Structure 1
Amino acid sequence: MPKLIKNAKELILETSEKLLFQVGYKDFKIREIARRCGIASGTIFNYFTNKEMLITAIMARDWDNLLADIKRECDLATDIATAVSIIYKGVRSFVEKYESIFVDYPGNIIGQFRKYHLTVRQQITDILSNLLSRLNRMEPLPVISIFAEAILASSAQKDIDLQALLQFTSLLFPPVAE
């Protein structure tokens, strides 16, 4: 009879994340995860079809947790610049955390990223839309989507810093006279 492991998927994810950051993408092996979890490699494949899917699941879980934190903090923001700073710093921290994984990834990381890019941009757009609505700033959705893209791109790249983004923010959303 097969060994039943309570919360096996969570155990695999937690163990895998630790291993991923200890050894990097190149030395990240399913057999080692199985050994550390005390399970057969096949058990891992019951949950994740391959190494890439497992790493994607780790990153998705991290992103979901980060996004919840960003939303919570932006719900408390009293101005657009504060929210932009929160989003920028959150995305930047995620990129920095996974930068070495992106560098070592042997496939087309840009192609993999495109799968999730629109979803992430929409999530940022939703946060901004909620904030602008709360601040009684009604902007057309295309403007918010393009702004979300600017935040995402600048936080993922190193050539546009937060100060430059905040300058752009003040031009796009000048203070409203009360």
Structure 2
Amino acid sequence: MSRVIENPKQLILSKAKEILYNQGYHKLNMRALSKACDIALGTIYNYYPTKKDLVVEMMTDYWQDYLESVREIVNSNTDIYTKLNNVFKELEVFIKNFRQYWLTPELYGNQEYVEGGLQKEYGYMEKLIAIIEEVLKKEAADKNVQIKLGARETANFIIMNFITIVQTPLFRYESFELFLKEILK
């Protein structure tokens, strides 16, 4: 009699992340995953026909978790500058972890990953920008703030500068916030 596994897809993703995080991309294969999950190899392939499908789904989960934390931050009862500072701090952690687990040469150098992963990554960046755009629109409506560049362009400016500050820490967040206060007058 076969056993029933509750939420096998989540089990597979969870174990795959453990293997990736603890042993690296080269140790992540369907057989090792089958063994770690204690389920048949065919079951793994039913959910993820290729390693690329699995890796892209894992990256998607990673991004969705991050965007959920950003939504929690922007829905908090704090002023816009506190929200943006908290989004920046969360992005800083996200990028450092993303770099460690997802931008390894063995993974990022893999053409299949680049084709599937980068396309999804750009989509998630757009979602992040849209979240910040909504915060800016709400701030403009609630406090009669004029956004000189427009909400979309300002949101894009904020996120691209956040990423730059994290990746090249020659400019401090506090200095950037001064620019924001000028833009959001």
TM > 0.5: yes
Structure 1 residues without counterparts, runs of 5 or longer: none
Q: How big is the shift at 1:4?
A: 4.5
The alpha-carbon distance between structure 1 residues 126 and 90, as it changes in their structure 2 partners (threshold 3 A), is same
1:10 aligns with: 10
The alpha-carbon distance between structure 1 residues 16 and 87, as it changes in their structure 2 partners (threshold 3 A), is same
Which 4+ residue blocks in structure 1 deviate beyond 4 angstroms? 1-4, 108-113
**Which of 108, 116, 122 is residue 120 of structure 2 equivalent to?**
116
The alpha-carbon distance between structure 1 residues 26 and 97, as it changes in their structure 2 partners (threshold 3 A), is same
Q: Does 1:107 align with 2:117?
A: no
| Distance (whole Å) between structure 2 residues aligned to residue 128 and residue 15 of structure 1 | 33
Q: What does residue range 10-49 of structure 1 map to in structure 2 within 5 Å?
A: 10-49=10-49
Identity, % of aligned positions:
20
| Distance (whole Å) between structure 2 residues aligned to residue 176 and residue 98 of structure 1 | 30
**Which of 156, 179, 182 is residue 146 of structure 1 equivalent to?**
156
| Distance (whole Å) between structure 1 residues aligned to residue 20 and residue 120 of structure 2 | 21
- The residue type paired with residue 125 of structure 2 is R
The alpha-carbon distance between structure 1 residues 111 and 144, as it changes in their structure 2 partners (threshold 3 A), is farther
CA offsets per residue over residues 24-50 of structure 1, 9 Å max, x none?
Answer: 111212111101111122211111122
Greater relative contact order (Cα < 8 A, sep 6+): 1
CA offsets per residue over residues 107-165 of structure 1, 9 Å max, x none?
Answer: 1466555312432232222222222222223531442243144145326x5214672x4
The alpha-carbon distance between structure 1 residues 117 and 32, as it changes in their structure 2 partners (threshold 3 A), is closer
Q: How big is the shift at 1:167?
A: 2.3
Q: Does 1:92 align with 2:59?
A: no
TM-score, structure 2 normalization: 0.77
Give the secondary-structure state (helix, strand or coil) at the position aligned to 2:182: coil
| Distance (whole Å) between structure 1 residues aligned to residue 15 and residue 117 of structure 2 | 24
